[in-house]
Amino acid sequence: MTPDPIFVSAIIAAGGRGLRFGGASPKQLLTLGGRPILARSVDAFVGCDVISEIVVALPADLAAAPPAYLLERSKPVTVVSGGDERRASVANAFARVSDRAEIVVIHDAARPLVTGDLIRRTIAAASEAGAAIAAIRAHDTVKQTDGSGAITATLPRERIYLAQTPQAFRVPVLRDALRLGGEATDEAMLAEQAGHVVRVVDGDPRNLKITTPDDLTMAEHFAAGSTQTPALRIGNGYDLHRLVPGRPLILGGARIPFEKGLQAHSDGDAICHAITDAVLGAAGAGDIGRHFPDSDPAWKDADSIELLRRALAIVRDAGFAIVNVDVVVIAQKPKLAPHLEAIRGNVAAALGCDPAQVSVKGKTNEGVDSMGVGESIAVHAVALLSRR
């Protein structure tokens, strides 16, 4: 039998204010390649297959009203208030990890270009050794000074590493480390002081820490060079349902007064179904039948607005954001004009965007086919997504 995968909790340390960077807002909220730095860091762990949950430590005011991109993710994301120091923020987050956690991986939110490969390698090393960090080998000659600028030693560079995050620990090791007092610049240093061996895995030069505006400029260069798919993606969706007596008519989350409703396994909301297919298709994430099959009793009479929210979480986890959605509803009757604004508002709320990014149009079928004689309703949807 294949052993169950280990439960890995990720802590994203984002409790600082970024005072060295300057600016009116915390640096983790600044954008990199059009996406918030914090969002990029969290997305990397949500998208990593070995991560089971994420705990994000934020400044208290942000923790009280966290950004929307931390909510409704495909993996559990818990937000906690950080402390005055990094260690306090990590300790607050550690207190909220699952009791099932076997390994905890800690990452600075200010390193938004971390890759899934680096996360996995660090966790694998910690699983074997108890603790591991990502670090970069020194390539220049390393000098030690007396603090005044006078060189006191030349250090062998083949033994010098520059520490990065992620840093991963078996739970007992991290617990020992966080119990210690004294000065430390990262959790690995505390683990060393507690007597544990910490292994180094080769880091990534692009996994830089954004501390100054120059760092952000360099990160922009790396982010632009790392885009592997087009910045804009288009998806197409279509749905059709027969009108039958005895069911409510629900379109775009709005209940439309009419003597018939749409026959379906779920609530039959053809607008939401078509949009769901469009956004999933644009992200290359399959279709509504793959994620919410009508063979599954769990989706019987399901609220399709909720299915659309779930689809949005999948799309966000894939690194995309909604640019706009355009919908055409083909229905001879009822007249949809009085309900279009409510539909737009419902769809926009489910997609986490402004109603101005959603267009919904009603058309008749001029008496042709089942739509034209009032026996069915069809919907076409197009979604435009951008890399976040």
Residue at which a domain ends, from 170, 190, 225: 225
Confidence of residue 23 (pLDDT cuts 50, 70, 90): low
Q: Identify the CATH number of the domain in which residue 133 sits.
A: 3.90.550.10
Mean pLDDT of 310-319: 88
Q: Identify the CATH number of the domain in which residue 371 sits.
A: 3.30.1330.50
Do 179 and 288 share a domain, yes or no? no
Q: What is the largest CA-CA distance in the chain?
A: 91
Do 164 and 256 share a domain, yes or no? no
pLDDT, the chain, mean? 90
Structure tokens belonging to residue 193: 């002081």
Residue 135 in any domain: the answer is yes
Residue 3 in any domain: the answer is no
Please state whether the predicted TM-score (pTM) of the whole model is above 0.75.
no
Nearest-CA neighbor of 250 among 179, 303, 307? 303
Is pLDDT of 2 > 70? no
Do 109 and 215 share a domain, yes or no? yes
- CB distance 313 to 77 below 8 Å: no
Do 63 and 30 share a domain, yes or no? yes
Total domains in the fold of the chain: 2
Residue 213 in any domain: the answer is yes
Do 163 and 221 share a domain, yes or no? yes
Mean pLDDT of 235-241: 95
- CB distance 32 to 51 below 8 Å: no
Residue 2 in any domain: the answer is no
Q: Do strands 8-13 and 31-32 pair parallel, antiparallel, or not at all (unpaired)?
A: unpaired
Instruction: Give the per-residue pLDDT at 225.
Output: 65
Do 258 and 335 share a domain, yes or no? yes
Confidence of residue 20 (pLDDT cuts 50, 70, 90): low
Do 245 and 366 share a domain, yes or no? yes
Range of the domain at 160: 8-225
Q: How far is it, in rounded angstroms, from Cα 111 to Cα 114?
A: 6
